[in-house]
Structure 1
Amino acid sequence: MGFRALVEQFLKFGVVGAVAFVIDYGILMLLSQVVGWDPLPSSVVSFVVSLLFNYVASMHFVFERRDDLSRRRELVIFVALSVIGLGINSAVIWAGTAALGDGAVAVTVTKLVATVVVAVWNFVSRKRWLEAR
């Protein structure tokens, strides 16, 4: 894949990721700030919901399917990679809220940092294990 194609793919990944972030962040803030849940379990629920959207959109718009993977196996790999991403996300949320508190600004800043770190993991890992070569 040439540099231009890689940049285009990363931009598509960014658009899908931005929409997934809005879903993730919206649910996180709803659960943690309106419903009153702790930010950590709130972040797990919001992450899982956004994951479902991300799978469908990523495999349709961003990555070229591998012929040697069934949809089932593709989903299993996607979920496994995402569970690692969830662990990274949760660790950053835990560390950030431990250091900054659990107010709206602290949760927002922490979530932004977690999003950047997890986005890098997601792109690299999905490109490596899910995309046709």
Structure 2
Amino acid sequence: MEKKTSLFQQILRFGVVGGGAFVIDYGIMVFLTEVVGINYLLSSAISFTVSVIFNYILSVKWVFNVTGERSQKQDFAVFIVLSIIGLGINSLVMWIGVTKFGINYMITKIGATAIVMVYNFITRKVFLENGK
């Protein structure tokens, strides 16, 4: 029988994984925008997508109590759908922050990440655990 991870442990682990994903996401976004010259919305979407793969692997293996009632392909599909919604939230917050409020994209990304992080934890907890 697998040992269940407590909610407190999950939150801590999610924070560690999320921190790593943020470094990947933010670093790639800034690199693509500042060095390569890609528009901030496109570079943000690309960096977000790369960080999702990192996040998926560690979330399933280390953070959440994924029971294996679904196949890995099904779990990944659920994760991708949730992540696409998260990408939509991220892009919307980026667009509103930068275009409507004139906030620098690097600062806006921090707020967008915080919002999406809460969304990610709640939805992944609900939909990944227990094969729901």
Q: TM-score, normalised by structure 2?
A: 0.91
Say yes or no: does 1:122 pair with 2:120. yes
Post-superposition offset of 1:66: 2.5
The DSSP-based 3-state class of the residue aligned with 1:28 is helix
AA in 1 matched with 2:114: V
1:21 paired residue number: 22
AA in 1 matched with 2:102: L
Q: Which runs of 4+ in 1 moved over 6 A?
A: none
1:9 paired residue number: 10
Say yes or no: does 1:100 pair with 2:102. yes
Q: Can you list the C-alpha shifts for 1:33-61, whole angstroms capped at 9, x where unaligned?
A: 11111100000100000001000011111
Task: For structure 2, list consecutive stretches of 5 or more residues without a partner in the other structure.
Answer: none
AA in 2 matched with 1:100: G
2:64 paired residue number: 63
The DSSP-based 3-state class of the residue aligned with 1:75 is helix
Partner Cα separation in structure 1 for residue 6 and residue 64 of structure 2: 11
Q: Can you list the C-alpha shifts for 1:7-53, whole angstroms capped at 9, x where unaligned?
A: 22101000000000000000000011111111000001000000010
The DSSP-based 3-state class of the residue aligned with 2:130 is coil
Post-superposition offset of 1:132: 2.3
1:83 paired residue number: 84
2:39 paired residue number: 38
Post-superposition offset of 1:107: 1.4
The DSSP-based 3-state class of the residue aligned with 1:100 is coil
Q: TM-score, normalised by structure 1?
A: 0.90
The DSSP-based 3-state class of the residue aligned with 1:97 is helix
Two-structure CA RMSD over aligned residues (Å): 1.4
